[in-house]
Chain A
């Protein structure tokens, strides 16, 4: 598959995530959109990993090029899991204090 297809697919998913963050006001949906953006990036990394491997294999059959990128994806997932646990804790906390999950309710940044 041409790498452009994967890149454009990732960009599309990423931008959908951005639009979601911008448009939705439910903090949980916003958080999910962030996860969507992370996944778009992961997909891109894997695609690039395979692209580099394809290039390296031409010269060296046993080349391990591209392994690093897949491990990065693995670590991203690890971090994402940690992040989600903390983030959801914060959301629960917020809901407990404000009885709302509307991001615009959190406009204290103004002050």
Chain B
């Protein structure tokens, strides 16, 4: 199977090249077929690889020496094992569905931009595949940067709108902060171990001092913070909703933002060595989960709610990583990819039907106009709320159980977050689909179900959201947790937690009950009389996202601008320009004076000749030590 591996990233790369170069000449349908077909081909190869790994185990394919400096050798190699093959399936599978969806969703664009869109999407898939397939941190970093670039390009896809460009820049800059952490961690690793290849690093990890391990893992986590939108680097993700909705579904919900989780799960050997980092990851994850859940409670933009929900769910995944439940985190990545992609695509379907209206206060009662979207969206909401036997229940429960084993407070806060999740998701559902339509007559007249290219991916994803959890049914519920046994070759440091079965039943019961109560409460509250007016009091703080953007603006942006202004007006104008101009003026002036020496008078020339002889004698006789000469004069 080794000879198939390179095909996986090759197809999207070819798709990117064809679509990118031929975007002005190819027709829209051809672009759509090439773009989707490339990802489908990758998916098929990934499926083959997946079953190969399942039966024969993982392997590494070495292509060529990428960097070869002295003793440092970084091969361009792909590692296909349980973790990466699973991610390959998620990326190419969900990616394919979203590509298909996009062919309908983006159909209003001009062919040229349509081609550009698919080129970017394919490039993203390519980068993401590099990220997960790389056999060392450097290849991962190439993909890591590539997805950041594609994210930037796709957020700013409608580049004529300045605000979208600002959002793209914000995403890029925030990602760069994280990337710096990642890069430093890789340098540190290379400095200490002389290699960045996973297998070597993990084999020699025990030779690292605890300080090194903590430093490296924290820096890697900083990278994950940027990419996976954790506090304090999360504010770019909600703004990234400026991009087209399928992009939000693919990049900012299902795949790219989970890169941080993938990276930490991949480095689980290192992380498990540092208690400090594990606690930090857990605390940051939990804080993010709660914090963004509270913000999501009061958002009125359908995509913003989903965006904060994404940040919140990512927080759960980091909580899972932090308490050592790596499998749980990866499991949640998978289920989250299904239901969050579903929710975003369904939201896209709603937006499509509403002619790019995203404010849920102007929707309502869409149930009867968009039946398929409605059903799938509802399934997605149930899945994310953690109602059994939907997929979200299993993955979230696994994380919460591990959190309980680590610290019951984590569990309590996690359940509170889960309740909020259920509440805001059903607030969103009820406000959008239940009640009566609150939009204009014109919009109502044009309301229609989306074309099949959009509804079929919805149905497939809905199906996956419903049944996706069954790959990880815990033993307590009579399952075998196949995912854990599948991942066990890669995730070797999973923390085994032992909770009494009765306790575990109780925990499950409580979390499900809390979620159910929140759902019923939300449906009752919002289906009849949704919040239409601006929030007041504390709600206003929440709807303004805790004023975090304003805080960052004041603390970082304003001070940076002030510093820039200072540098520009004082340092640049006076010191640098003054210095440069001063040198120019000095040269000008001195040459004006020096010119006068050229008097043409013979005696002047002879005078300089004599002076030169004096200087030469002084230098020559005393080896340059003129002062010594003067001391011997008298």
Touching in the complex, A and B, CB below 8 A? yes
Most buried by B among A22, A25, A108, A111: A22
Distance (whole angstroms) from the CB of B611 to the closest CB of chain A: 11
* B610, A110: Cβ atoms closer than 8 Å: no
Please tell me which one of the listed residues B602, B607, B610 contacts residue A109 in the complex, with CB atoms under 8 A apart. B602
| Assembly CA distance A49 to B606 (angstroms) | 30
Task: Answer whether residue B599 sits at the interface, using C-beta atoms and an 8 A cutoff.
Answer: yes
CB contacts under 8 Å to B, within A3-55, are: 18, 21-23, 25
- Segment at the B interface, from A64-72, A90-98, A99-107: A99-107
| Assembly CA distance A76 to B140 (angstroms) | 86
Size bracket, chain A contacts:
10 to 19
Q: Mark A69-91 against chain B: 1 for CB-CB distance below 8 A, else 0.
A: 00000000000000000000000
Number of A-B contacts (CB under 8 A): 28
* A22, B606: Cβ atoms closer than 8 Å: yes
What residues of B have a CB within 8 angstroms of the CB of A22 in the complex? 603, 606-607, 610
**Given A18-B610, A22-B610, are A107 and B603 also a contact pair (CB < 8 Å)?**
no
Please tell me which one of the listed residues A103, A108, A110, A111 contacts residue B603 in the complex, with CB atoms under 8 A apart. A103
What residues of A have a CB within 8 angstroms of the CB of B503 in the complex? none
* B603, A109: Cβ atoms closer than 8 Å: no
Please tell me which one of the listed residues A18, A25, A109 contacts residue B605 in the complex, with CB atoms under 8 A apart. A109
Sort A-B residue pairs by CB-CB distance and give the 5 closest, nearest first. A110-B600, A107-B600, A109-B600, A103-B602, A104-B601
Please tell me which one of the listed residues A21, A23, A25, A108 contacts residue B600 in the complex, with CB atoms under 8 A apart. A108
Q: Is the interface of A mostly helix, strand, loop or mixed?
A: helix
What residues of A have a CB within 8 angstroms of the CB of B606 in the complex? 18, 21-22
* B599, A110: Cβ atoms closer than 8 Å: yes
Which residues of A are in contact with B by a Cβ distance under 8 Å?
Answer: 18, 21-23, 25, 103-104, 106-111
What residues of A have a CB within 8 angstroms of the CB of B607 in the complex? 22
What residues of A have a CB within 8 angstroms of the CB of B610 in the complex? 18, 22
Task: Answer whether residue B590 sits at the interface, using C-beta atoms and an 8 A cutoff.
Answer: no
The chain B residue with its CB closest to the CB of A23 is B603
| Assembly CA distance A23 to B603 (angstroms) | 8
Task: Answer whether residue B502 sits at the interface, using C-beta atoms and an 8 A cutoff.
Answer: no
The chain A residue with its CB closest to the CB of B600 is A110
The chain A residue with its CB closest to the CB of B602 is A103
| Assembly CA distance A107 to B602 (angstroms) | 7
| Assembly CA distance A62 to B28 (angstroms) | 115
What residues of A have a CB within 8 angstroms of the CB of B603 in the complex? 21-23, 25, 103-104
The chain B residue with its CB closest to the CB of A109 is B600
| Assembly CA distance A106 to B601 (angstroms) | 7
Distance (whole angstroms) from the CB of B134 to the closest CB of chain A: 73
What residues of B have a CB within 8 angstroms of the CB of A103 in the complex? 601-603
What residues of A have a CB within 8 angstroms of the CB of B600 in the complex? 107-111
Distance (whole angstroms) from the CB of A111 to the closest CB of chain B: 7
What would 28 A/B residue contacts be, using CB atoms closer than 8 Å? A18-B606, A18-B610, A21-B603, A21-B606, A22-B603, A22-B606, A22-B607, A22-B610, A23-B603, A25-B603, A103-B601, A103-B602, A103-B603, A104-B601, A104-B602, A104-B603, A106-B602, A107-B599, A107-B600, A107-B601, A108-B600, A109-B600, A109-B602, A109-B605, A110-B598, A110-B599, A110-B600, A111-B600
